[in-house]
């Protein structure tokens, strides 16, 4: 395991969060991709899961995944979650502290998908794994009305791509989706990449464009399953989109919500002042992170009563 040599923050404010992320980014700047993957999974040591959860690996229609069930899980209600990491790193392990918190607050269990990563498995491998896991849930008898999608960053875009593909394949759609700092345009050229560059401590336009090129491996960045901001969103279920005010990806979220609303989708957009990319991941140390997790859970309970 790669040791980043950063202390676990006892408490964070917006200011100290920005500083912490800049220091972490500097410490990881020269890591290889494999080391970045190991460092991401090290989150399981830095941010342990709170409470009593059962963790069980599973093959979900051929896609690797992990069941996470806590004491508050109710019946078959399932949060089908897709982690972030630019399609290059991240896993159910790296995001376990976040997914379990979301599921627990929403009284659900979580199926966190360990979709295949680029460059070994470029687009559309992640989309194929997402639809396979969703089909598997349906085939095991879980009603679509008992399924909500969740995802952060690349995983947020992947959740939208899954809904589009599921609709086009005439599958019943999930009840709702929570999209955290979603990356929805792999062309990486929206205005906020410039206007918010001085605010964002974690993402640069050049860096994320390089990441997009690795994932796309020559595919068209305007493909709606790679960049779902360009998709036809008609018929999709209600979505909560949360994005930080200090993110270069803020236009990805704004433009997705606008496109969804034009298509008649109930898309709620929340811009959280001073917050950074996927600030929810710091919910154990950041009050705004805890509130954002609770807000997402409240949205799911509203859309999935009973």
Instruction: Provide the annotated active-site residues.
Output: 153, 247, 277
Q: To the nearest 10°, report the CA torsion of 41, 117, 87, 21.
A: 20
List the one residue out of 94, 64, 99 whose CA is nearest residue 80.
99
Q: Contact at 8 Å (CB) between 178 and 148?
A: yes
β-pairing, 239-244 vs 63-69, is: unpaired
Burial code (b: 16+ CB inside 10 Å, e: under 16) for 182-193 equals bbbbbebebebb
Show contacts of 31-35: CB within 8 Å, 24+ apart.
Answer: 31/2, 33/88, 33/89, 35/2
Report which of 244, 252, 297, 249 is spatially closest to residue 98, judged by C-alpha positions: 297
* The two three-digit tokens of residue 8, written as one number: 């676990």
Distance (Å) of CA 234 to CA 138, 177, 259: 22, 15, 10
Residue 189 vs residues 7, 186, 221, 243, 258: alpha-carbon distances, Å? 35, 8, 11, 18, 17
The residue behind tokens 């606008």 is 258
H-run or E-run covering 39: helix 33-41
Spatial separation of the C-alpha atoms in residues 38 and 19, rounded to whole Å: 22
Cα atoms in the 13 Å half-sphere on the side-chain side of 192 = 18
């Amino acid at each position: 395991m790669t040791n980043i040599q950063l202390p676990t923050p006892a408490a964070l404010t917006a200011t100290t969060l920005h500083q912490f992320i800049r220091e972490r980014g500097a410490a990881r700047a020269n890591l290889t991709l494999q080391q970045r993957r190991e460092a991401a999974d090290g989150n399981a040591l830095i941010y342990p899961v709170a409470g009593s959860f059962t963790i069980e690996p599973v093959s979900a229609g051929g896609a690797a995944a992990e069941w996470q069930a806590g004491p508050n899980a109710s019946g078959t209600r399932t949060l089908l979650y897709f982690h972030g990491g630019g399609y290059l790193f991240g896993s159910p392990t790296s995001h376990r502290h976040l997914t379990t918190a979301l599921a627990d607050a929403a009284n659900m269990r979580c199926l966190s998908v360990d979709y295949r990563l680029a460059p070994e498995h470029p687009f559309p491998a992640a989309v194929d794994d997402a639809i396979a896991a969703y089909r598997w849930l349906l085939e095991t008898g879980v009603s679509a009305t008992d399924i909500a999608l969740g995802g952060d960053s690349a995983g947020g875009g992947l959740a939208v791509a899954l809904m589009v593909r599921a609709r086009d394949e005439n599958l019943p759609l999930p009840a709702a989706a929570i999209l955290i700092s979603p990356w929805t345009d792999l062309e990486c050229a929206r205005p906020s990449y410039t206007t918010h560059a001085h605010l964002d401590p974690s993402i640069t336009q050049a860096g994320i464009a390089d990441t997009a090129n690795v994932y796309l491996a020559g595919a068209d960045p305007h493909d709606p399953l790679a960049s779902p901001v360009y998709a036809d969103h008609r018929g999709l279920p209600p979505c909560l989109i949360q994005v930080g005010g200090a993110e270069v990806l803020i236009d990805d979220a704004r433009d997705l919500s606008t496109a969804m609303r034009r298509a008649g989708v109930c898309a709620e957009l929340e811009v959280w002042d001073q917050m950074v990319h996927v600030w929810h991941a710091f919910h154990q140390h950041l009050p705004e992170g805890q509130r954002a997790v609770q807000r997402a859970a409240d949205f799911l309970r509203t859309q999935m009563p009973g």
